[in-house]
Chains A and B, each alone.
Chain A
């Protein structure tokens, strides 16, 4: 089994170089970009919503190789959702989700 820490370093450096090259793409070559087609702009705008949802959904609803809708994790996520929609604060949202999960599992004895 590979060490998770050494993999973290490898992935971080590789992704860091890639991020730099994306930021530098046109700027480093001092080249100009023609008109960006509307279709490409539309696709670019969809990326954050699609990628973040694809990362989040399995983490919340996929437990022990099956889909479960009502678990302490989804209940805690619901609490965090209310917080993010009302307060729009990332820090408060994350803390409320984590502490809600803690309360549900350790306080109420709701099994993970």
Chain B
């Protein structure tokens, strides 16, 4: 058994080495998350909990925003669920490659299954010599470095944000992070329509109790963007 264990270790270390660009890339986004959580008035323990328990930038910032405006738990849950529904697809993709691995291995990899990890590892599954065992170890190496970077980034950001003078309106960091995440995802006309409907309807419904307007807006945006995609496809038959 020493031979496979040594090769697992090698794959794990290879993953950690290959994750160097991820480490550098995640630090600033983690830092902004820390700044935003500090700006919203929460403590370091809360920032650390958010980044380790959720470990999902866009969902974390949506949760902080909704918690700050005192939305009910169900609204926070539904919003985070919508944002993270894409993990179902990642999970299904990984499941086809990992189904012969033990439950412990699948359960441990589940924690690290982020956009970054998916994007970085998925090309390896097309290798003709693909073997799920070293692939698991490699992905765990990527995952450990990712969460490490995320936590260090969150910590640096939190303490930087916490030391900024009180006159600076740091609570504005949360909506500004949402803005910074929103505009890069507007890559097609239907996505712009989704955002316009999402924002427009949420604004028109802003008077609804319990921040329900945000959910109504989000759902309208999804429907409008999907409808726009279908219309565009029917105009240009492939």
Contacts and interface: CB of A to CB of B under 8 A. Distances in A.
Interface stretch (B10-18, B58-66, B122-130, B144-152): B58-66
A27 B143 CA distance: 16
Interface centre among B168, B176, B179, B221 (most CB of A within 10 A): B176
B83 A47 contact: yes
Interface in A29-60: 29-33, 36, 39, 41-60
Contacts, number: 303
Given A58-B213, A58-B214, A51 B172 contact: no
Interface in A5-47: 5, 7-16, 18-20, 22-33, 36, 39, 41-47
B159 interface: no
Given A28-B106, A59-B65, A42 B230 contact: yes
Contact of A84 (B184, B196, B201): B184
A49 B225 contact: yes
Nearest to A13: B53
B168 A20 contact: no
B111 to A, nearest CB: 6
B154 interface: no
B36 interface: yes
B98 A27 contact: yes
B46 A54 contact: no
A48 B46 contact: no
Instruction: Provide the main secondary structure of the chain A interface.
Output: helix
B5 interface: no
A57 B169 CA distance: 18
A94 B70 contact: no
Nearest to B219: A50
B92 interface: yes
A106 B77 contact: no
B180 interface: yes
Contact of B88 (A9, A22, A60, A99): A22
A20 B111 contact: yes
A59 B55 CA distance: 24
B8 interface: no
B25 to A, nearest CB: 11
Interface of B: 28-29, 31-32, 35-36, 39, 41-43, 46, 49-50, 53-56, 58-59, 62-70, 73, 76-77, 79-92, 94-96, 98-99, 103, 106-107, 109-111, 113, 167-170, 172-186, 190-192, 194-203, 206-207, 213-215, 217-222, 224-226, 229-230
